[in-house]
Every structure is written in structure tokens, then in C-alpha cells.
């Protein structure tokens, strides 16, 4: 054996490969503590606070699902409100059939995944900008179909049944916990999916679809799976909106504004990272609370923030935290002199 081989073997023995560094492990502990505190909030604060936070949790879930689809899968959709609306109306329909509305929320997610399967057959025939526009058109088609169903309230929408017998305070707490559970579930789902082979496959497809296919990756399967997961997550978010507002309106729930919110949050937070939608949702939620009383200037200021982020922070706010990862999906390789 030559000296170079000996040096190489020695270096290999001194190299340590791990999923997360010490900072990530400490941050993970902090996230668990924050989640526990959030779960206890209904016992600590007034219901007005928890009712407001439901909106934040819905935004986190929606942004995480859009980021999974576009940031990791390369599928830039402007029509995820289709599944938001289908999920919302699924809860209405299931409640009319006697299903408890809170139990209807996960069933709404399953319903959206079922609808997304044939929808993907049509959407995946489009590429690039055509895919983005096509998904928006599909969402409009679903809205027009729902409006024509009289049992769902038609164009005026419909109220939710099945929650009238629950105490208002308890109902607010249950809705809060369901919304929090949705946010945590979407983040955890993204993390688990991206840690495995699917995560590598998705990023390869995002970067260069042809090269990924030539490397043996089943491109269609990877895209289909992430599309179904994203549809299910958005559907569950629609269900939470329904049990929170106790009614649904087709023009509101199928509005393209929801996709605009998702895109804005992911852009300012950091696309292609699990942490980006989290910080982006918090920033967007804060801007909503601070600027909502400014009327049309509220939208102007949001637009200026989005433009500034796109120009000067192409990797989003999370891109400023170089080297830090709260949800490590890759590997860290450290030598004997590198810090842990």
C-alpha cells in the first residue's frame, strides 16, 4: 500500500458524517418547547389570541405545501386554491352526512388526494409557465362546478352544521388544536419526505428533469407523489378554515389570492428550505396584523416587501442564516478539526 493510500485511509477514519450538527440539535429542542407552549396557549390566553393564531397555522401549512411542490419538486402552481376549496366543501358535505366536522378535516385531505389523482393527469401534460396557468384554470373550473351544486349552497355558499352542540370556548380550543396539529403535520411530513430518497429525487427533477430521468429516477412518480401530498395538505387547510369560520363561500375559498399568499410567504422566507415557509408565514402574519387598517395601501406595502425580497434576498430571509438548519435533510461531513 502506498503512502497516499495510507493517508487516505487515515483521513477517512477521521471523517465524521452526521445528519445534524450541535446547533441543529439545540434548535430542535427549542422547536419542541415552542410547540408545547403553543399547545398550552388555550389555557393561558384569551380566545381572541388563539382565534387569530389559527390563521397563522393555516398559512404555515399552505406555504409548506406550496414550497414542497415548487421549491423541491419544481412544480410552480398558481392553482392550489383548488384543493383548498375542495377540502372546505368536503367538510361541509361530510358534516351534512353526519360526520363530526373535526373528524371530517383529515377525510377532506383524503378527498383532495383522490381529486388530485385525475387532475394530475391533465396538469402534468403542461410544462413551465403553461403548468402554472393551467393549474389556475383548473381551480376556476372546480369553482364553477361547485357553484352549480345546489346542495352545497350554490354561489352564496353554505354554513357548517354539526358544531352547534359544542360549547363556544371548547369549540375555539378544539379548532385551535386542529389548526396547530395541521401546521406541525405539514412541517413533519415535508421533513420526513425530504430526508429520504424521494427528497433527492425531487431536487434532481427540479434542477434538471431530463438528467434525473437518465439517472434512473422515476420522474412522473416523484412529481405525482409530491402533487398528491400538497393537494392533501391544502385540503386539510381548507377544512380548518371551514370549522373556524363555520361557513364557506366559493368566491373566497377558491380565490387565487390564496396562491398569492403562498408564493409571497415562500419567496420572502426562502424557497427550497423547510424553514423558509415558517419564517415567511410569521413575517406575513405580522404584516397582516400591522397593516390591515391601511386599506389598499396594505397591498401596496406587501408588494414592496415582496419586490425587495426578490431583488436583495433571492434566497429569502432564511438564506441569511448560513450554515444553520433546523430541519437537516442532508448530511454534514466533518474532519477531526471541524467543530461539532
pLDDT digits (tens, 9 = 90+) for 85-115: 999 999 999 999 999 999 999 999 999 999 9
| pLDDT value at 186 more than 90 | yes
Which residues fall within 8 angstroms of residue 118, CB to CB, at 6 or more apart?
none
pLDDT at position 7 is: 39
The Cα angle at residue 78 between residues 147 and 251, in degrees rounded to 5: 25
| pLDDT value at 5 more than 60 | no
Residue 219 half-sphere exposure, CB side, CA atoms within 13 Å? 15
Q: How far apart are CA 4 and CA 320, in angstroms?
A: 39
Q: Percentage of the chain surpassing pLDDT 70?
A: 88
User: Rounded mean pLDDT of 114-135?
Assistant: 92
Q: How far apart are CA 163 and CA 101, in angstroms?
A: 7
Give the pLDDT band (50/70/90) at residue 6: very low
Q: What is the pLDDT of residues 293-320, one digit of tens each?
A: 777 777 788 888 888 888 888 888 888 8
Give the pLDDT band (50/70/90) at residue 11: very low
User: In this structure, what C-alpha cell is assigned to residue 4?
Assistant: 497516499
What is the pTM for the complete model shown? 0.88
Among the ranges given (72-76, 148-152, 200-204, 272-276), the one the predictor scored with the smallest mean pLDDT? 200-204
Amino acid at each position: 500500500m502506498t503512502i497516499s493510500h495510507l493517508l487516505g485511509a487515515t483521513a477517512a477514519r477521521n471523517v465524521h458524517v452526521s445528519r445534524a450538527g450541535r446547533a441543529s440539535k439545540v434548535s430542535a429542542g427549542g422547536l419542541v418547547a415552542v410547540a408545547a407552549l403553543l399547545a398550552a396557549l388555550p389555557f393561558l390566553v384569551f380566545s381572541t389570541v388563539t382565534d387569530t393564531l389559527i390563521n397563522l397555522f393555516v398559512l404555515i401549512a399552505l406555504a409548506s405545501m406550496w414550497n414542497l411542490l415548487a421549491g423541491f419538486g419544481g412544480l410552480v402552481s398558481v392553482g392550489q386554491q383548488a384543493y383548498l376549496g375542495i377540502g372546505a366543501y368536503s367538510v361541509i358535505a361530510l358534516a351534512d352526512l353526519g360526520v363530526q366536522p373535526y373528524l371530517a378535516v383529515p377525510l377532506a385531505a383524503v378527498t383532495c388526494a383522490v381529486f388530485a389523482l385525475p387532475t394530475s393527469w391533465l396538469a402534468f401534460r403542461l410544462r413551465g409557465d403553461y403548468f402554472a396557468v393551467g393549474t389556475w384554470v383548473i381551480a376556476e373550473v372546480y369553482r364553477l362546478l361547485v357553484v352549480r351544486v345546489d346542495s352545497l349552497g350554490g354561489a352564496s355558499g353554505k354554513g357548517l352544521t354539526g358544531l352547534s352542540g359544542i360549547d363556544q370556548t371548547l369549540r375555539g380550543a378544539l379548532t385551535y388544536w386542529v389548526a396547530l396539529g395541521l401546521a406541525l403535520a405539514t412541517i413533519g411530513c415535508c421533513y420526513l419526505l425530504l430526508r429520504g430518497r424521494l427528497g433527492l429525487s425531487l431536487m434532481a427533477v427540479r434542477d434538471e428533469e431530463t438528467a434525473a430521468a437518465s439517472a434512473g429516477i422515476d420522474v412522473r412518480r416523484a412529481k405525482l407523489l409530491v402533487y398528491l401530498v400538497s393537494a392533501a395538505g391544502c385540503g386539510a387547510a381548507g377544512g380548518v378554515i371551514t370549522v373556524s369560520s363555520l361557513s364557506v363561500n366559493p368566491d373566497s375559498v377558491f380565490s387565487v389570492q390564496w396562491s398569492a399568499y403562498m408564493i409571497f410567504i415562500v419567496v420572502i422566507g426562502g424557497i427550497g428550505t423547510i424553514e423558509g415557509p415558517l419564517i415567511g408565514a410569521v413575517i406575513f402574519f405580522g404584516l397582516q396584523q400591522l397593516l390591515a387598517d391601511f386599506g389598499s395601501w396594505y397591498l401596496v406595502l406587501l408588494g414592496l416587501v415582496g419586490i425587495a425580497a426578490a431583488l436583495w434576498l433571492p434566497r429569502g430571509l432564511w438564506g441569511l442564516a448560513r450554515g444553520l438548519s433546523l430541519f437537516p435533510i442532508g448530511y454534514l461531513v466533518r474532519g477531526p478539526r471541524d467543530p461539532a
